[in-house]
Amino acid sequence: MKTRAPQKRRLQTRARLLSEAEKIVTTQGYSALRVEDVVAQAGVAKGTLFSHFKDKDGLLAVLIGARVMEDLEQMEALPTPRSVDDLIQKLEPCLSFVAQDRVIFDVLLRYSGSTGSEVNEVVTESFVRQITLFARWLGQMQKVQKIRSDAPAEVLAEGIQAFLNHVLALWFCAEHANDDSPAKALTPLLQVWLKPLD
Amino acid sequence: MKTRAPQKRRLQTRARLLSEAEKIVTTQGYSALRVEDVVAQAGVAKGTLFSHFKDKDGLLAVLIGARVMEDLEQMEALPTPRSVDDLIQKLEPCLSFVAQDRVIFDVLLRYSGSTGSEVNEVVTESFVRQITLFARWLGQMQKVQKIRSDAPAEVLAEGIQAFLNHVLALWFCAEHANDDSPAKALTPLLQVWLKPLD
DNA sequence: AAATTAAATTGACCGTGGTCAATATATCTG
DNA sequence: CAGATATATTGACCACGGTCAATTTAATTT
């Protein structure tokens, strides 16, 4: 199978698509992004976009993945949470980023499973990174008896992701009417999930 | 505000739409449902469908909600689970119904939050019913020391929903390649979630 | 440099969900 | 019954994502 390296024209085109898409997203929000606008601003034909990204979600996934990466960078620089409340507080930026727009949630959910096998997507990468960070934090919290130690940190980390998605799902259903913030709903669940056994 | 009762022509039309939609769904699956096919078979114009249902998902929600209701009916007739494994086994039919098609999952997730306030949707109703059933089961399991009692049964029930959605999300990401079934992935999570503190 | 092959881009075209002013049908009122 | 008024349905039309044979541009070979 012959596959040459992509030529630089292609890389430039891709870069232009991404930068124009990002412009739109920052000014009008993720859900306002239209494929036709992106290609118009980038000065390419519509088909070009779909030769660079599987579909619209694929493009969004790159943008969102990059954004999540930044949040993770911040989080990784933080010290290990001292308590469950502290943990939730440190989760908050990530949470409120996703909470801002339903399409962010949808895109992340659609890619959240891919276990980094081969698909070189930024989103996928961001997920393994997130779960790794959680597991590291939880492992350290276990050592100092802040949380339960009767389950592997990896399982506890997976649970956190599950609860994050859960409160976000509720958040979008409620049309922002009921709870004042997703983080509020998270507290009781994580308290129980991480509660030390004695 | 004047609002008369719907006249019977309207009820008939709605019934025809639903029954034709159901036909399509049972023969070709949920994701194969096309609005144009439904209205063609029902012998009405496209606009009519959207005067009866908010959008395509609204129609699907009625079908799916009804289907979930049947599953719940079965489950309610069952005795309280004796163990976590037994619980998972009893959850299985519901789980594998949703696992069969991504659009089922999407629709359910989109409506899963609405706390039955006013929207007279079958899906919404099915959700309160599900959480009620879970809470009843868990409450009884708590009494006989099968599971932890340091958290309200309602919170534990909510957690089950979160984990159900979590394993389903993973299931659809993996394209059915990795795990053999969503129920498998559920076991370790629920074991930890419901573990008695002894 | 011409010929050959592969990569990149194009844009007309399609499928499908959803809208809405116009029309038809039913119900009510004097 | 003849308007008057509310309800139900219509279907042409639009928005938007996505496809693919054809074309252009770049890299390789002779």
Question: Residue A146 pLDDT > 70, yes or no?
Answer: yes
What local confidence, expressed as pLDDT, does residue A178 receive? 67
CA dist., res. B60 & res. A143, Å (int): 48
Q: Quick check: B47 CB within 7 A of strand D?
A: yes
- Of the candidates B113, B111, B119, B100, the one whose C-alpha atom is nearest the C-alpha of residue B181 is B100
Give A163's contacts in chain B (Cβ within 8 Å): 159, 162
Question: Residue B112 pLDDT > 90, yes or no?
Answer: no
CA dist., res. B147 & res. B104, Å (int): 31
Q: Residue for token digits 């000014």?
A: A27
Closest CA–CA distance from residue A2 to any residue of chain B (Å): 28
List the Cα angle B124/A167/A90 in 5-degree steps: 175
- Of the candidates A142, A163, A32, the one whose C-alpha atom is nearest the C-alpha of residue A88 is A163
CA dist., res. B170 & res. A68, Å (int): 19
CA dist., res. A14 & res. A34, Å (int): 16
| Options 3.60.60.10, 1.20.1260.10, 1.10.287.990, 1.10.357.10; CATH of A64-194 | 1.10.357.10
For chain A, how far is it from start to end, CA to CA, in angstroms?
60
Extract the tokens encoding B14: 């709605």
A192 in Cβ contact with B151 (< 8 Å): yes
- Return the half-sphere exposure (C-beta side, CA atoms, 13 A cut-off) of residue B55: 3
- Of A10-19, A115-124, B31-40, B138-147, least confident by mean pLDDT is A115-124
Chain A residues with CB within 8 Å of chain B CB? 109-115, 150-151, 155-156, 158-159, 161-163, 165-166, 169-174, 178, 188-189, 192-193, 195, 197-198
Extract the tokens encoding A182: 């997703």
Closest CA–CA distance from residue B110 to any residue of chain A (Å): 6
pLDDT in tens, B30-89: 999 999 999 999 999 999 999 999 999 999 999 999 999 999 999 999 999 999 999 999
Alpha helix stretches (DSSP H) within A100-121 = 102-111
Extract the tokens encoding A16: 């232009």
A189 in Cβ contact with B162 (< 8 Å): yes
Please give the protein residue whose CA is closest to the C1' of the nucleotide D9. Answer: B48
A21 contacts: CB under 8 Å, gap ≥ 6: A33, A38, A59, A63
CA dist., res. B122 & res. B128, Å (int): 10
Q: Provide the pLDDT confidence category of residue A120 given band limits of 50, 70 and 90.
A: low
The residue type at A126: S
Extract the tokens encoding B169: 């999300």
What local confidence, expressed as pLDDT, does residue B119 receive? 55
What local confidence, expressed as pLDDT, does residue A196 receive? 86
**Across the interface, do B169 and A171 touch by the CB < 8 Å criterion?**
no
What local confidence, expressed as pLDDT, does residue B17 receive? 98
- Protein fold of A1-52: Arc Repressor Mutant, subunit A (1.10.10)
SS3 assignment, position B142: helix
pLDDT in tens, A3-58: 788 899 999 999 999 999 999 999 999 999 999 999 999 999 999 999 999 999 99
- Of the candidates B61, B66, B69, B72, the one whose C-alpha atom is nearest the C-alpha of residue B109 is B61
pLDDT in tens, A75-104: 999 999 999 999 999 999 999 999 999 999
The two domains B1-52 and B55-194 share their CATH topology (first three levels equal) = no
Question: Residue A118 pLDDT > 60, yes or no?
Answer: no
- Between CA A46 and C1' C11 the distance (Å) reads 8
- Of the candidates B185, B110, B192, the one whose C-alpha atom is nearest the C-alpha of residue B156 is B192
Give, as ranges, the nucleotides of chain C with any atom within 7 Å of a protein CB: 6-13, 16-21, 25-28
> In whole numbers, what is the pLDDT of chain A averaged over residues?
93
A124 in Cβ contact with A53 (< 8 Å): no
Q: Residue for token digits 């949920």?
A: B30
- Of the candidates A155, A126, A68, A116, the one whose C-alpha atom is nearest the C-alpha of residue B166 is A155
| Mean pLDDT of the region A186-190 | 97
DSSP B7: P
How crowded is residue A129: how many other Cβ atoms within 10 Å of its Cβ?
17
SS3 assignment, position A58: helix
| Mean pLDDT of the region A61-87 | 97
- Protein fold of B55-194: Tetracycline Repressor; domain 2 (1.10.357)
Q: For residue A10, give the H/E element and its range.
A: helix A8-28
Please, is A151 exposed, middle or buried when counting C-beta atoms within 10 Å of its C-beta (0-12, 13-18, 19+)? buried
In angstroms, what CA-CA distances link B116 with A59, A191, B71, B138? 36, 26, 19, 22
CA dist., res. B21 & res. B142, Å (int): 42
CA dist., res. A80 & res. A137, Å (int): 5
Per-domain residue ranges of chain A: 1-52, 64-194
